[in-house]
Copies of this chain bind each other. A is one copy, B any other.
Amino acid sequence: MTTARRSDATRAAILEAARERFASDGYDRATIRSIARDAGIDPSMVMRYYGNKEGLFAAASEIELNLPELGGLPARHVGAVLVTHFLERWERDDVLTGLLRVGVTNEAGAERMRAIFAQQLGPVTRGVCPDPAEAPRRAALVASQILGMALTRYVLRLPPVVEMTPEEIVAWLGPTVQRYLTAEAP
């Protein structure tokens, strides 16, 4: 294991400031200078520890969705469970919002987003959909609805979406996700 470094606190401060700035400003407007200011250090420290701006973003956008195992629960609940989980994940911190913002304007961000959904959402769907060969497609359909909700609620802030309670969102979106996962292919 790697031993603790004296600079660990600084590294963490940079990473936290970076996540917030990327989330609220997007890749271009989140400047290294502003991130350094938030972290209370010099911009050159960012370069020293993360190489360059792309490296910083790569480090700041490492994400674990921590999706639940869907295998053990009644098949007709997986939609609601999945929507609930994503909603909580999105409300807890703004890393995912940041990733969404950056994924839209930056190819590295888009690639990161593709990887996360392929590696973390894909496997979970494999166990619950009728034909495993169709798992990627069904996961992508789920992603389209989940990300659309995140986009309209946390980024574009369409008023009717913002005003809905989490319970209402689960009630509306749960059956949709459910159908994308388990229904016969149309």
Contacts and interface: CB of A to CB of B under 8 A. Distances in A.
A101 interface: yes
B137 A147 contact: no
Contacts of A157: 110, 114
A57 interface: no
Copies in the complex: 2
Interface of A is mostly: helix
B156 A140 contact: no
Interface stretch (A3-11, A47-55, A68-76, A171-179): A171-179
Interface of A: 25-26, 28-29, 100-101, 103-105, 110, 113-114, 117, 136-137, 139-141, 143-149, 151-153, 155-161, 163-164, 171-173, 175-176, 179-180, 186
